[in-house]
Amino acid sequence: MKKTYLMIFAAALLAACSSAPQKVGINAMPVKLNKAITAADKTCQTDADCVAVKKGCCECAGYEAVNVKAAEKVQKVWNKECQMAPCTREMCYVQITPKCENNVCTGELKPMDSYFGK
């Protein structure tokens, strides 16, 4: 009987460990996130159809413009993959203004002066 309980406990422990969030490296750019962004719909009709999503776990990884609906899926992947990601404190000028050009979401780098108050 003790062996049965021990086996059940070991199986439960193994299941808990395998489903726990995985630790990612500093300034990580997870493969699953990259795949989600690459596969994301980028079609649009107006600038309002496009939003910026992070290309990595941290600000300095940059941003990509995708369709608003596709951004929800990308955000779910980001939440799962980047939950435990540590980031450096460096300042990066990588934010974009998403816009629609020729029915495709694109992004234009924000001017540096937009990062500072006027």
- Mean of the per-residue pLDDT values for the chain? 84
List pLDDT tens digits, range 18-75: 443 455 678 889 999 999 999 999 999 999 999 999 999 998 999 999 999 999 999 9
What is the spatial distance between Cα 60 and Cα 65, in angstroms, rounded to a whole number? 15
Is 91 a residue whose pLDDT tops 70? yes
- Tokens 């992004």 correspond to 107
pLDDT at 101: 97
Choice between 23 and 104, residue whose per-residue pLDDT is larger: 104
Query: CA–CA distance from 101 to each of 39, 44, 112 (Å)?
Result: 19, 8, 22
Range name among 3-7, 17-21, 66-70, 101-105 with the lowest pLDDT average: 17-21
pLDDT at 2: 59
SS3 call for 36:
helix
Going 43 to 49 to 50 to 54, the CA torsion angle's sign is: negative
